Structure 1
Amino acid sequence: MKTVLLSVAALLTVSAANAQTWMVDKSHAKVGFTVTHLMLSEVDGNFKTYDAKITASKPDLSDAVVELTVDANSIDTDNERRDGDLRGDRFFNVAQYPTITFKSTSFQKVEGKKYKLNGNLTMHGVTKPVTLDAVLTGPVTMDSPRGKQEKAGLKVTGTIKRSDFSLGTIPVAVVSDEVELKAAGEFAKQDASMAEKK
């Protein structure tokens, strides 16, 4: 039994040592959401400030761990009054809960480029497991000013309930309980020295 445990520990150590970090290119990325207003029309919003990365030891990223950190105060729905209300204690309460985080627990291939992304979403002081749909494109090697660089595209979509995170008591006839999540971006593989600086 001891030998087995040592072997597992050795494999985990090797896997961690081989892990590569892929950072989001914010000039080609977006983190957003959509809700339904008065059961009639859709209202879109996004977060202007965030960080995201993928960690993987396999070259095809099929063992990816996806992490996202969002500045809740950066919410933007193209309406200053509404954004101020969303930042207040009726909704996100950004003074008390300034960040929204997600970290995946599994990345399961469905078919082709499609995956199921499972993880823990923390928002408004509440952490819940969520399952999202993901499409992974690449990785591909491309020319850049620094020479050859590996890049990948990741698109994530899914639906959560704002009531699960105690986000507002406003009736669902005014703002839907269901919130569609939409995030997409390009990720660039970091070399060892860049990854250490991150």
Structure 2
Amino acid sequence: MKRLTTLGCLFLLLTSFVWKTDWNQDKAHSELSFSVKHLGVSTVTGFFTDFDAKIVSNKDDFSDAYFEMEARTNSVNTRVDMRDKHLRSADFFDVEKYPTMTFKSTSVKKGKKKTLLVTGDLTLAGVTKSITLTLKPNGKITNQQSGKETAGFDVEGSLKRSDFNFGSKFGETMISDVVQLRASGEFTK
């Protein structure tokens, strides 16, 4: 009986890994952006043109999901070449030393109005800190063109530059300490 119980537990453990579903980013329908206040009077936005994201989940509502994102920091784009070069320098992203920025979830909890609170480790310019993002699932459909099940999400959150020693030469009167984060995307099974 003990052997049968052990085999049953082993079967359940192994099948829980097998049933996990990978959801891969549709790059043509995904974006990762940020915004800051400049001089306290205007909002400057930017985005990353090169990033990957992946979701692994077993549940239809994604409440057990693992989320992972990696952005190439040299792909930062604010539509102003001079500013983008400065952002790539050691004053900010230091792309030579830190070519990627990553996020790896550590927990997912149900939030308000069918949202998920995704907490994870963000690594930015060599500093890793925990942040929590609000993820809104936008539903799932079967894509008529590809025939694949497709899910869409919107993500919002913020971080403090000072927590990551990011752009520390520039005080809050120049660039807000709070950076707003936004992402949206489609993922296919």
User: Does TM, normalized by the shorter one, top 0.5?
Assistant: yes
1:68 is aligned to 69
User: What is the 5 A alignment of 1:138-177?
Assistant: 138-144=139-145, 146=146, 148-169=147-168, 170-177=170-177
Question: 1:23 maps to what in 2?
Answer: 24
CA contact (8 A) 1:60 1:138 kept: no
44-53 or 105-114, which deviates more? 105-114
After superposition, what is the alpha-carbon deviation per residue over 1:24-52, rounded to whole angstroms, capped at 9, x for unaligned? 11111110000000000000000000001
The letter of the residue matching 2:87 is: L
Equivalent residue number for residue 85 of structure 1: 86
Report the more deviating stretch, 6-15 or 27-36: 6-15
Which position in structure 1 is the counterpart of 2:54? 53
Question: Take 1:82 and 1:8, find their aligned partners in 2: how far apart are those partners?
Answer: 56
- 1:118-157 superposed matches below 5 A: 118-144=119-145, 146=146, 148-157=147-156
Q: 1:110 and 2:116 equivalent?
A: no
TM-superposed CA distance for 1:61, in Å, is: 2.5
| 2:179 counterpart residue number | 179
**Any gaps of 5 or more consecutive residues in structure 1?**
190-198
Deviation at 1:154, TM superposition (A): 1.1
Identity rate of aligned residues, in percent? 42
1:129, 1:9 → 2: CA distance? 33
**Deviation of the 1:149 alpha carbon:** 1.5
Match of 1:192 in 2: none
Distance 1:151 1:142 in 2: 6
8 Å CA contact 2:109–2:118 kept in 1: the answer is: yes
Distance 1:84 1:8 in 2: 55
- Whether the aligned pair in 1 keeps the contact of 2:63 and 2:116 (CA below 8 Å) is no
Work out the CA distance in 1 between the residues paired with 2:46 and 2:102.
Answer: 17
State the distance in 2 between where 1:35 and 1:176 align.
Answer: 6
* TM-score with structure 1 setting the length: 0.87
> How far apart are the structure 2 equivalents of 1:12 and 1:55?
16
Name the Cα RMSD after superposition: 1.9
Decide whether the 8 Å contact of 1:118 with 1:132 is kept in 2. Answer: yes
Counterparts of 1:120 and 1:87 in 2: how far apart (Å)?
A: 22
Judging changes above 3 Å, is the alpha-carbon distance between structure 1 residues 129 and 26 closer, same or farther for their aligned structure 2 residues? Answer: same
The size of the alignment, in residue pairs, is 186
**Paired letter, 1:160:** L
Give the TM-score taking structure 2 as reference length.
Answer: 0.91
Inter-partner Cα distance in structure 2 for 1:132 and 1:151: 21
Shift of 1:60: 3.4
Per-residue deviation at 1:8?
6.0
